[in-house]
Amino acid sequence: MSLNGLQTNGLYVILFLNGDPHTPSNFHWGLYLHESVRGGTKYHIKGQGAGWITDHGHTAGVFKSISLIGLFQVAVVPNGLEAYTDQQLRTYDSSLNDLPGITCRVWLLRVLALLQKEVNGSKILKCTDLSALEAEVKAWGNGNAEAALKNQQPRPVGVSKFVSQ
């Protein structure tokens, strides 16, 4: 898969292997907002020392990590709501280490919850059940982890059943 195959304004969960051998449902979680054939913005947090830091930024190489399992589309950001979405995805940046039980997965679910709220008559994340979405992403990731361990290319892109709700 290349950037050409991604949907403009598509919001994707990006899953990475978190060890070899793969432990089921044990991933590094992040988000990727695709902007154009030139790339998009990757949002994720990572552990550093005893705490967590943000590591957001533009990338044209979302498919280039050796530990990448794949991208799983969870939403389409309506035109005009890109800046709002970026703001929501950065909401917890200055308070990460004040959030109880924070992990990359917990952070991701918290920011996705913000996208469930209606803004300008639209909901960015149409899924109303984050637990069901999480289970869907985990099942997809577990199903593709072995191929990632073998470095099979291209990496897969999936689409949540909740995108078209």
pLDDT in tens, 98-153: 999 999 999 999 999 999 999 999 999 999 999 999 999 999 999 999 999 999 99
Q: Which residue has the higher pLDDT, 163 or 134?
A: 134
Tell me the CA distances in angstroms from 84 to 77, 123, 155, one per residue in order: 10, 12, 29
**For the sheet containing 39-43, what is the strand order?**
57-59, 39-43, 27-36, 10-17, 68-76, 157-159
Mean pLDDT of all residues in 31-47 = 97
Q: Does residue 165 register a pLDDT over 70?
A: no
* Pairwise CA distance, residues 117 & 125, whole Å: 8
Mean pLDDT of all residues in 56-67 = 96
* Pairwise CA distance, residues 13 & 44, whole Å: 10
Q: Does residue 74 register a pLDDT over 70?
A: yes
Position 164 scores a pLDDT of: 80
Tell me the CA distances in angstroms from 42 to 120, 146, 152, one per residue in order: 25, 24, 22
For 6-10, the CB contacts below 8 A with 24+ separation are: 6/34, 6/40, 6/71, 6/157, 7/34, 7/73, 7/76, 8/34, 8/35, 8/36, 9/33, 9/34, 9/35, 9/76, 9/77, 9/78, 9/79, 9/82, 10/34, 10/73, 10/75, 10/76, 10/77
Mean pLDDT of all residues in 45-63 = 95
User: What pTM was computed for the model?
Assistant: 0.97
* Pairwise CA distance, residues 126 & 36, whole Å: 22
Q: Does residue 89 register a pLDDT over 80?
A: yes
Cβ(70)–Cβ(155) below 8 Å: yes
Q: Does residue 157 register a pLDDT over 80?
A: yes
